[in-house]
Structure 1
Amino acid sequence: MIRVSAAARWSLMVGSWFVMLFVAAVLAAALIVPRLAGATPYVIETSSMTPTMPPGTLVVVRPVDQDQIRPGDVITYQIKSGDPTVVTHRVVAQGIDATGQSRWRTQGDANDAMDAGWVLPVQVKGERWYAIPYLGYVTSFVTGQQREVLSILVVLGLIGYAGVNFLGALKERRRKPVVLHIEQPVAARQSDQPVDVRT
């Protein structure tokens, strides 16, 4: 008797379901969560923050109370106030000017020297919330409103497809295994054997 079950198929379906949910979660963390939380995603374009944030890393930056910025924090700031070009580096020193206002010196983790000049509060866009290596390469293909709409559609599509696969796998799992009965060859009976008659 040979028993044929759907265990292998079930495992494959469940595995693909979790993979799709993982991809959906990553996309949500990269594109949807920042918008809901008032954060901003940026793409790391240089190697100055390797190995923690290699080129192509998507870094999500959230607003920060400037009184809470301390050495060791990673911040994103404008090179010049009002300039859209930003840098994401680590704070390595903190100072206070004559008016009691904080300012900071920054440095890339892979750089040998500090960045030139002090970073003023007006230049700071926020602090690093979380970062996802290499995902920035994917999000660079679309920008602005297209990115938001596409990300929502992709996440919903993946969740829906994963749900359909899971329900199908569950239904398959509940089915009774197919049992095939293979008839064994009948042993030759004694009477069918040739008789050797000797006289």
Structure 2
Amino acid sequence: MMEDDFFVCGVPRKEKTKYFKGPDEKEYKIRYETEENGNKAIRIESEDGTKTAFVINGKMEDFFDDADHIKFLGKSKYAYRIKSDGKVAYKVNKKIFGWFEYIENFHFLKNSHLFFVSENEQLACVINGTEYGPYEYVESIVFGQKGNWAFAALKECIPDYGQRGKWAIIKNSEEIFEINDAYISNLSFINSDGPARVNCRLDFNI
């Protein structure tokens, strides 16, 4: 271990620098370590300090311009955000979903994962690797039983009226409802023994 200088209340201190020895026998500086649901992740940096990677349960992943925001689901599934050449993506286990200008609101559920992406000032929703959109705006993503999902999307915006315009509800890859000159929010699934039904709120004066 080496020592790095850092300051506490203006007074220099010494802190031990930890390293991870990779399968190539090289030692990589550890940025931080975290544990979740019985899993351990170590974030390391490349030899020149320009890239980062994760070591997940002892196995070293590939380096990217940046790797962060790791999430675990049980012992077999994990996901984290990666950056390369100014674009971002999510790596879910060994598969990469991307690349996009911007990613936000990543959700990791038992049978599904989703996130919103920004491209050319519009939003799209990526669910289990399939991209829906782009739209002017995306609202109220919900998940029901048996893998059902739905969200509301603003397809066309009325100029000078904010988020009012042509809205639609997309459920399980299909557009099931469309309305003009309104705003859709507060989606939820109605519990029933039959086909999954979606409830929503409609506003006409916003």
Q: Shorter-chain-normalised TM-score: which range?
A: under 0.3
- The structure with the greater share of residues assigned to strand is 2
Answer 1 or 2: higher relative contact order, Cα 8 Å, separation at least 6: 1
Which structure has the larger Rg over C-alpha atoms? 1
- Report the TM-score, using the length of structure 1 for normalisation: 0.23
